[in-house]
Every structure is written in structure tokens, then in C-alpha cells.
Structure 1
Amino acid sequence: MAMTDGCSNCLKYTFGFVNLVILICGGVLLGVGITALVGDSAQLNELLDTNLYTGVAIVITVAGGLIVLISFLGCCGAFQESKCLLGTFFCLVLILFIVVGAGAIAGFVMGSDSILEQIKTGLQKSMNDYNEKDSVQQSWNFLQENFECCGVDGPSDWARVLGPNNVPRSCCIKDSEGNPGACGADSNSYDDGCVEKLEDFVKGNSKLFGAIAIAVAVFLLLSMIVACVIMKSIF
């Protein structure tokens, strides 16, 4: 015997609402992950002595894409009252719940002191390749121009690479027209070191990754519960 109309409609609309929220969250996760992988900030990974940033971005991107597809599958199963579709949905969501949970943990771990120390070590090592690798040079220039910083702890760090009082042009403070002027380690260059600015950036993104992943995990759990109720109500 099928579900009564009132109960059936209530469960379907509840399930549909939960899956709509999951779909939206999945889209946000997908967007954040893709931006982290291919956006301008992706080249910062060239300067870091860790692959965790890229790893978390990949997990978030894959999870976001799967969430969008699976939420659609769940809605089809509920409105068709198909145990097969709902059972498949439940299993896939359970796997996603674990993956998203791992993404949330990794996102918060990325902002831990040990990871931030690796960031500083990576920046210090990459400075030695500034004159040797174009990719490193471009990444340092991007970092210093966009974060308005210079060196690891300050402009004087460039002395061992470029010579006394010399800094990359990307360290120079821009004029009113947005063009960098002439500068040195002790004149007209950004005073702040990039490690502090980059740590703030990574912490902010790790919290964003973690918060979105936790929100999705909660709604995935609710979706699994409602899916179980619907399956038990179908005879």
C-alpha cells in the first residue's frame, strides 16, 4: 500500500526542500573549489611547501559536482516513490557525507600552526628560485602586487637574492594612477612581509571551506534521514 496523499506530499516537499538547499550548497562548493584551482590565487601554490591547499580544493570541487548530481537523483526517487533510486541515493549520500566531512576537517587543519609554518618555509625556499624559474618569479610578483607586501618577513629579505637594498618592482608602492614607482628595501616599498598576508588569506579560505562543508554535511544527514522515512513508507 502506498503512502497516504497527505503524508506523501509532506515528505516529498520536505525532501525536495532539503535537496534544494543541498543543490545550492553543492553549487557554492563547486564554485569555490574551481576558483581555488584555476583562479589567480591558484598560482600561489607555486610558493608553498605543501600540496594541502590544492588537495582541499580538489576535494571540494569533486564533492560539489557530485552533490549537484546526486541531489537531482534524490528528488527523482522521492517524487517517483522509487525504492531503487532512493536506495542508490542514500548510499551515494553516505559516501558524500564522509568525503565532505573529510573536506571540512582538512579545511580547518589547513589553518593550523603547523601548516602555516610550512607556508613560511615554502616562501623562504622559493625566494632562492626567483631568478631561475619564471613561474616562481610570476607567483612572487602576483603575491606582492595583490597582497601589497614584500619579501617573507619584510623587504630586507630580498637582499640575499637581489643584493643590498634591491627588491622586485612588484614590491614598489603604486602611485595614484596604479603604476609602481622606483623603490628599494628602505624606500617606497611595502613594509609588510608576505607571510603574514598569506597566512591571513589561507586562514580565511580554510574557514570558508570548512564552514560550507559542515553546512552541506548537516543537510546531507537530514536528507538521508528523510530518504529512509520515505523508503519505509513505500510498500
Structure 2
Amino acid sequence: IETSMEGDCLSCIKYLMFVFNFLIFLGGSFLLGVGIWVLVDPTDFREIVATNPLLFTGVHIILAMGGMLFLLGFLGCCGAIRENKCLLLFFFMFILIIFLAELAAAILAFIFREHLTKEHFTKELRKHYQGLNATDVFTTTWNAIMNTFDCCGVNSPEDFEGSLFRVLNPSDMVPEACCRRNSHLDLSFSNKDECLAGNMLYRNNKGCYSSVVDYFEMYIYVAGALAIVLLTIELFAMVFAMCLFKGIQ
């Protein structure tokens, strides 16, 4: 009877591990999808990522983690079903490394969070943004952001006061990218001269920081919640892997 109970317990652990590894497999697929979407996104978000080293590194970490979890979930499922001790041990060591790497990434994201603040972006905008006809990556990226999200500056159009843009364009209060368009289909500007002179009626008055955050807010919360769920699943998967490893004769 005791042997039968042990066999039932082992079988239960095996199928639970399969389920948890299948969830890891799905989590890896999701991370891969997010990373690929950011890199090929048609709304120019990839340009924002390309000009920010922290975001650029983060996206590639997401891609790498997604690929590893995708492979790991598959190996874990195979190890559980086949009851292969070698696969299970490899799975445990691999997922432990990933688990610790994810914790380290979360700690680093917390430490370097000041690089994603309004103050940091405002300082960089005032220091490097040149105007519509500039060809540097920083300026063209900001032009793409302001055109895409119908916004101006980081906090508001006042961010351009005392900036490099005003030094280079002393007659313009705001760049042309801040001007309101007639419609989304008609790319011509409405009263462009009034806009460049600073008339609030003809410029976009909302800052880009809040516009971008509002646009991605749902995705940020979903990604954060899924990250917590994924870490919990990985922890349980490691426990089940060790229990199954010890239970296999």
C-alpha cells in the first residue's frame, strides 16, 4: 500500500511538473512575442528603444529570457513525461540560473529607474534636440514620438525654453513636430506659423511622457503581473523537479 501511495504521489508530481513547465513554455512564448513586437512595431517605438541604452539592453534581455524559457519549458515537459533524471537535473540547474537572473534584472531595473524619469528625459531633450531638419538619431526619434503621439516636449511645450533648439531656432517657440495637423489623413499643418510662434490653439499641449505612459500603461501592468506569476511558476517547477528527481529509481 505504501509503495502504491508513493507511486501515486510521484505520478501526481510528474503531471504537476508537466503543467508548470507548459506554463513556463507559454511565458517564454509571450516574452519572445513582446520583444519581437517592440523591435518591429510600426509606431516608431523601436526608435525610442534604439536611442536609449537601458531600454535597448532591456529588450534584448527580454528576447534572451523568452528564448531560454521557451526551450526550458519544452525540456521540462519532456523530462517530466519521460522521467529522465539527467533532463530533470539539467532543467533544475538551468531554471535556477534563469530565476536568479530575473531577480537580478528586477533589482537593476529598480536601481536604474531614475533614467526613465521625466527629469532625465527633459534634461536630455533640452541638451540634444535640434529641430525638424536635423538628421541625428536623437532628434529624429523625438520628432517621430511627437508626431505619433500628438504631443510636445516631455512635460509640455515649455520644456523647449532655454534648450539647444531655441538657440538654433531663436524665432520659434516650439518645433514644427509640436504643431497640430488638420487630420490624421491630412498631414499638412493648420496655422503652422501661429503654432511656431507659441499659440496654444495650434500646437499640441500635452507632454509626451504622459502620452506614452498612457498608451503603454495597460501593457506595463500586464507585463508586471505576468512576471510575478512567471517567477512563482518557476519556483514551484524547481520544487517539483527535485521531488521527481529524488522519487525516480
Tell me, yes or no, whether TM beats 0.5: yes
Task: Provide the residue aligned with 1:218 in structure 2.
Answer: 232
Structure 2 contact 15–80 (Cα < 8 Å) conserved? no
SS in 2 for 1:165: coil
1:228 aligns with 2:230: no
With 118-127 and 173-182 compared, the bigger mean Cα shift is at 173-182
Amino acid at match of 1:43: E
2:57 maps to 1:44: no
SS of the residue aligned with 2:206? coil
Structure 2 counterparts to residues 160-179 of structure 1, below 5 A = 160-165=167-172, 167-176=174-183, 178-179=185-186
TM-superposed deviation, 1:126: 2.6
Equivalences for residues 73-84 of structure 1 within 5 A: 73-84=75-86
Retained in 1: the 8 A contact 2:28–2:69?
yes
SS at match of 2:186: coil
User: Could you list the per-position Cα deviations for residues 6-30 of structure 1 after superposition, in whole angstroms to 9, with x for gaps in the alignment?
Assistant: 3343222211111111111111111
CA separation in 1, counterparts of 2:219 and 2:128?
22
Instruction: Say which is worse superposed, 121-130 or 25-34, in terms of deviation.
Output: 121-130
**Secondary structure of 2:151's aligned partner:** coil
Matched position secondary structure for 2:202? coil
**Residue among 10, 32, 35 paired with 2:34:** 32
Single out whichever of 203-212 and 72-81 deviates more from structure 2: 203-212
Give the superposition deviation at 1:89.
0.5
Cα displacement (A) at 1:94: 0.3
> What TM-score, normalized to structure 2?
0.78
After superposing the two structures, state which structure 1 stretch, 124-133 or 87-96, moved more: 124-133
Moved more, 212-221 or 148-157: 148-157
Q: 2:84 and 2:48 mapped to 1: Cα distance?
A: 47
Change (3 A) 1:199 1:106: farther
Aligned length: 232
Paired with 1:214 and 1:99, the residues of 2 have a C-alpha distance of 14
Greater length-normalized contact order (CA 8 Å, ≥ 6 residues apart): 1
Check whether the contact 1:171–1:189 (CA below 8 A) recurs between aligned residues: yes
Q: Work out the percentage of aligned pairs sharing the same amino acid.
A: 31
C-alpha separation between the residues in 2 aligned to 1:148 and 1:228?
Answer: 54
Of 207-216 and 180-189, deviating more is 207-216
TM value normalised by structure 1: 0.83
Contact 2:130–2:139, Cα closer than 8 Å, also in 1: no
Q: Counterparts of 1:1-235 in structure 2 under 5 Å?
A: 5-39=7-41, 40-45=44-49, 48=52, 51-108=53-110, 112-113=113-114, 115-116=116-117, 117-128=119-130, 131-156=133-158, 157=160, 158-165=165-172, 167-176=174-183, 178-180=185-187, 181-182=189-190, 183=192, 184=195, 185-186=198-199, 187-198=201-212, 207-235=221-249
Q: Work out the CA distance in 1 between the residues paired with 2:30 and 2:59.
A: 13
The aligned amino acid for 1:42 is: R
Q: Aligned equivalents of 1:108 and 1:200: distance in 2?
A: 21
CA RMSD of aligned residues (A): 3.0
Cα pair 2:95 2:234 within 8 Å, conserved = yes
Q: Is the 8 A contact 2:121 2:154 kept in 1?
A: no
